[in-house]
Structure 1
Amino acid sequence: MPAVASFSSISDLIKKFLGAFGDMEAFLGPSTCQILEHEPLCTSCSMDDLISRTDPCVTRPMALLDDRWRRMHNFEPPGGHMRRDRGLLSSSQLLQELRKNRYGCISETDAAKRLLYVFNPDCWVIVALASTASSVQATFLADLIYKYLGSRTALGIHRPMRGLLIFGFEFHLQFYVWCEGGPQFHDFRKERNGKPLRQSRQPYHLKQGDKNEPQVHIYETQVSCLIACIDEDSWVAYQFVDTYYQGDKPLEQGEQHGLKPDPLTGVLFDGNFPIWTTREYFLLVYECRLKQVRHAMHNLVARLLLRLEPYDMAAFSGERIVESIAQKKLTQRILNEANRFLPQTIHSICKAIEVWDRFSRRDLAYFSDIMKSDSKKNPIPSVKVVTVILKHIDALRDLQRRAKEQGDLCAGLARKVCH
């Protein structure tokens, strides 16, 4: 049953959705920040348009839904019993699917394990989720949406001290993607002030000197994930991913030769051989997405350093730089551009490292029993997954150091240019 049983308007829906915590309000109650973030974004939506599909925005494909259930006996197929795959769903179609009962739905398999993947979620998706989320889901879902919209980096476990015996796992990773060639893509979603939800930038001066060099675009992007559950037998995993910077590139999600890529893992694993337990699945998805962040940030820093390499020699030489006025202006523009991108990049890397360090101190003990080397509950041992995560974090620490060193070099060179 939805947490919000009735509402008079979209504004009323959002307020009730943010307040649908009952005894949990002291634990994860709605804040003024959440209300200010959610409500203005969704007020232009209409439930009638979402249901009748009269607005073209509600027919845009943007979601994948995977519902499964398994019996506990030896003759169970590896993938369990799955509801019919309906392919890419629009926000209107997603609403239709989410309105179905997860259990006891006529002619449908029970959806004990639900995976929901949404790329570039907009106000229509938020309305579809808010109007169908159960009390358990709403407890954590409002905070997921808030952090996703706000480009926050976080990692943690939510276990209430009182009330319902429910728990949630979440991670949020904000990072930047370096793209070369092609047009600049803009996020179609807007903030309250009319600006795109995610920013895209063009470095005009950080070039390698080749006239035919493709134009560079740097895109802000976010991936957020939540697993909300009552127990290991009934849970929902949500993932919101920004893909706007890829333009209209189709999502590779179809089943081929019996393989069905799991989109939450970045299609690195086969969805037809699912992990049924929450903690193991959460660690695996986090590792896959952290790997994506590591590669994206490494590519960005490497490209920046390559373009700044000619100026690094001047900073190391210790000699005063003698340039014409025009050359000084160009050098200053290059340094200013680098000084705009490097601090943001360093901040994103620092936050990813910081939240993992806090998680490993505070919450990783909650996974200790599944990280025993003799654990055979899943084909991918969690101890190995955590080992790979630590390698990603170590690589990010090294990347952070290199980026900071480059920032110091740019600052030193800027002082030379000014004299």
Structure 2
Amino acid sequence: MLETTNRRSRNRVFVWNRNFAQRQRLTYRAEDNKLTPEPHQTVVEAFLRELRSRLDPPQYNYAILRKFLEQADFNDLIQQTPSSRYTAPLVLLDDRCDDTGWRGLDGEQHSARNWEKYASYPPVGSRRFTSLMDAGQLYQRQMASRIAEGAERRVMYIANISPLCAMAIISTAARLRAPTLRDYFQRYLSNRVYFGVSMVRWQLLRAFPFIYFVQDLGFALEFHLPYYALRQDVALQSDPRGLRRSGYFIPSPEGPQKHEYLYEAQVSLLLTGVDEWFWTAYCCAETYFGSEESIQYYSDNQLDALTGGEKSMLDPVWNPREYFLSILTRRLKQVTKEWSNIVETLQDRLRLHDEGIFGDHSRKASLTDNRKFSHTREYTATIDLLRLLHNSLVRIVESWDSFGSGEVQYFEIRNEESLQAKWEDYLASIEKDMTELRFLRRVLSQNIEALNDKRSDFVNASTMVESRVAILHGDNIGRLTRVTVVCAQCVELIKQAKIPRCFYL
């Protein structure tokens, strides 16, 4: 069945719309058409219902997103009186536009770029606006017209997104982008794995004749990478939003040291736009446990936070597909290293169970468990952790395999040899990291199988010992019963012989 699905995906052609290389100026106006709730609606309700399908479930639809957004008070944005916990900068915003790519020396407008030159000498852009912002400041900036501000290329890095920050984004987004943003935030909040490219389509009705036709009004490039991170610290760092979990890691057998903690995290990107000139990138990262540099550091050093500082903000990437690949490459490498740290540390912890093979045979551990079943409980807890990690890795690898069998074709570019070679380098780096994740998945799977066998040995050996002890107890009880009977008979004989009690008491 899987082979049939992959074969169909390979036969299906995923082609990037050539119109995206041309400026779609008539569609730009729709990007300033903001979400407008009805008098009886809240902002959250309007956002969740905007352009929804009539076939969507009436209940439990986007329940996680609704619960998250309803923690914020929209009045804090419009009145500019948020509480102190909302005033910390959460967003690094970078707005700019590119005039050099479409206006010639003769003043005429040209609607296509020469990506070969952009790859070597990218323009800095004009009307540049870069700033650290809290939720209220982001709301005010996004309420302004993007066309008037010249914010055609909008890049947004969000560290530990809060409900109010999400409210600022959804309440100021274009109506056409509401379905895309709904799916993005729902996947992010639910710790979902996802790789996808989709076309933003709009169904129109001609007045005469009455014919429906579908038109591409943009694109959406998206990925979600959940992972676990291992950190050594004096205290457990909790997610202030209560969104991600954290807990203690398997202790080291070498003795007391700083506690080790396992943190749940995710990095997500949505890049959506009208064409290759007018687009927005949202990147949500979680840094509450020290996963990367602070948002202030990125701003002070003019580094591209979405790539983790891999690129400079002075050399922006203007092609949306190339920017998506560069971010995915860097973030996947980050996630792969975090996974490697965890699996290698687990391997080191589990070497203790092999001491009977490679260690001192005279100190070989007993197969039987103690009365409190400490060894069995230890194995069970370790297996539960391994299964949690293994299942997460399985989801990442399978999601990428599905994406690689079809939608990755959107990143094929013709007549741009140097650009295509650069993109193929990105894809080769991604595949290399995926190969490493596949190896780590196999390691976890083998450890689960080995520990399951050892736990079964403990249980079986302990059961056999308990059975043997029970048999011995039964034999002893039998002997005591026979002795009791004999003693009773002796007493009865003595009584019948009428011997005075003083002789046998």
> Deviation digits for residues 217-246 of structure 1, max 9, x if unmatched?
001111111111111010001111112222
Query: What is the match of residue 134 of structure 1?
Result: 174
Partners of 1:185 and 1:244 within 8 A in 2: yes
* Separation in 1, partners of 2:377, 2:340: 24
Q: Does 1:339 align with 2:367?
A: no
> Which of 73, 91, 96 pairs up with 1:63?
91
> Which of 35, 49, 62 pairs up with 2:62?
35
Alignment of 1:290-309 (within 5 A): 290-309=332-351
Partners of 1:321 and 1:416 within 8 A in 2: no
Range with greater deviation from structure 2 (154-163 or 144-153): 154-163
**Aligned Cα root-mean-square deviation (Å):** 2.8
How far is 1:187 from its partner?
Answer: 1.3
How far is 1:18 from its partner?
Answer: 1.9
Q: Does 1:118 align with 2:164?
A: no
Q: Does 1:363 align with 2:403?
A: no
> Deviation digits for residues 337-358 of structure 1, max 9, x if unmatched?
2112111111121111111111
> Deviation digits for residues 171-229 of structure 1, max 9, x if unmatched?
0111100111231011121xxxxxx32110113xx323233322010011111111111
* Separation in 2, partners of 1:288, 1:90: 26
* Separation in 2, partners of 1:84, 1:165: 26
> Deviation digits for residues 255-282 of structure 1, max 9, x if unmatched?
44xxx21111111111211111111111
Closer/same/farther in 2, CA of residues 255 and 244 from structure 1, 3 Å limit? closer
Partners of 2:199 and 2:216 within 8 A in 1: no
> For residue 254 of structure 1, what is the amino acid of its counterpart?
S
> For residue 247 of structure 2, what is the amino acid of its counterpart?
R
Identical positions, percent: 26
How far is 1:168 from its partner?
Answer: 0.5
Partners of 1:275 and 1:281 within 8 A in 2: yes
Stretches of 4+ moved more than 6 A in 1?
A: 74-77, 315-320
Query: What is the match of residue 149 of structure 1?
Result: 189
Partners of 2:156 and 2:281 within 8 A in 1: yes
Closer/same/farther in 2, CA of residues 375 and 415 from structure 1, 3 Å limit? same
Partners of 2:308 and 2:331 within 8 A in 1: yes
> For residue 356 of structure 1, what is the amino acid of its counterpart?
W
> For residue 231 of structure 2, what is the amino acid of its counterpart?
C
Query: What is the match of residue 400 of structure 1?
Result: 441
Query: What is the match of residue 456 of structure 2?
Result: 415
Query: What is the match of residue 486 of structure 2?
Result: none
Partners of 1:67 and 1:111 within 8 A in 2: yes
Query: What is the match of residue 77 of structure 2?
Result: 50
How far is 1:32 from its partner?
Answer: 4.2
Query: What is the match of residue 50 of structure 2?
Result: 20
Query: What is the match of residue 238 of structure 2?
Result: 186
Partners of 2:332 and 2:430 within 8 A in 1: yes
How far is 1:152 from its partner?
Answer: 0.2
Query: What is the match of residue 125 of structure 2?
Result: 80
How far is 1:26 from its partner?
Answer: 6.8
Query: What is the match of residue 35 of structure 2?
Result: 4
> Deviation digits for residues 10-36 of structure 1, max 9, x if unmatched?
x721121122227xx379x68744432
How far is 1:316 from its partner?
Answer: 9.3
Query: What is the match of residue 240 of structure 1?
Result: 284
How far is 1:392 from its partner?
Answer: 0.6
State the SS of the aligned residue for 1:185: coil
Alignment of 1:293-332 (within 5 A): 293-314=335-356, 321-322=366-367, 325=370, 329-332=373-376
Range with greater deviation from structure 2 (41-50 or 351-360): 41-50
State the SS of the aligned residue for 2:93: strand
> For residue 435 of structure 2, what is the amino acid of its counterpart?
D
* Separation in 1, partners of 2:96, 2:333: 27
* Separation in 2, partners of 1:354, 1:82: 42
State the SS of the aligned residue for 2:405: helix
Partners of 2:287 and 2:294 within 8 A in 1: no
> For residue 325 of structure 1, what is the amino acid of its counterpart?
N
How far is 1:164 from its partner?
Answer: 4.5
* Separation in 1, partners of 2:442, 2:456: 22
Query: What is the match of residue 219 of structure 2?
Result: 167
> For residue 101 of structure 1, what is the amino acid of its counterpart?
S
> For residue 201 of structure 1, what is the amino acid of its counterpart?
G
Partners of 2:37 and 2:46 within 8 A in 1: no
Partners of 1:172 and 1:225 within 8 A in 2: yes
How far is 1:382 from its partner?
Answer: 0.3
* Separation in 1, partners of 2:410, 2:153: 21
Query: What is the match of residue 389 of structure 1?
Result: 430
How far is 1:336 from its partner?
Answer: 2.3
How far is 1:377 from its partner?
Answer: 4.4
Query: What is the match of residue 192 of structure 1?
Result: none
State the SS of the aligned residue for 1:290: helix
* Separation in 2, partners of 1:31, 1:149: 20
Range with greater deviation from structure 2 (388-397 or 333-342): 333-342
Alignment of 1:369-384 (within 5 A): 369=413, 375-377=417-419, 381-384=422-425
Query: What is the match of residue 24 of structure 2?
Result: none
* Separation in 2, partners of 1:60, 1:315: 55
* Separation in 1, partners of 2:168, 2:134: 10
How far is 1:160 from its partner?
Answer: 4.5
Task: Give the aligned length.
Answer: 395
> For residue 390 of structure 2, what is the amino acid of its counterpart?
I
How far is 1:163 from its partner?
Answer: 4.4
Closer/same/farther in 2, CA of residues 247 and 399 from structure 1, 3 Å limit? closer
**Structure 2-normalised TM-score?**
0.72
Higher-Rg structure is 2
Query: What is the match of residue 197 of structure 1?
Result: 243
Closer/same/farther in 2, CA of residues 368 and 77 from structure 1, 3 Å limit? closer
How far is 1:65 from its partner?
Answer: 0.5
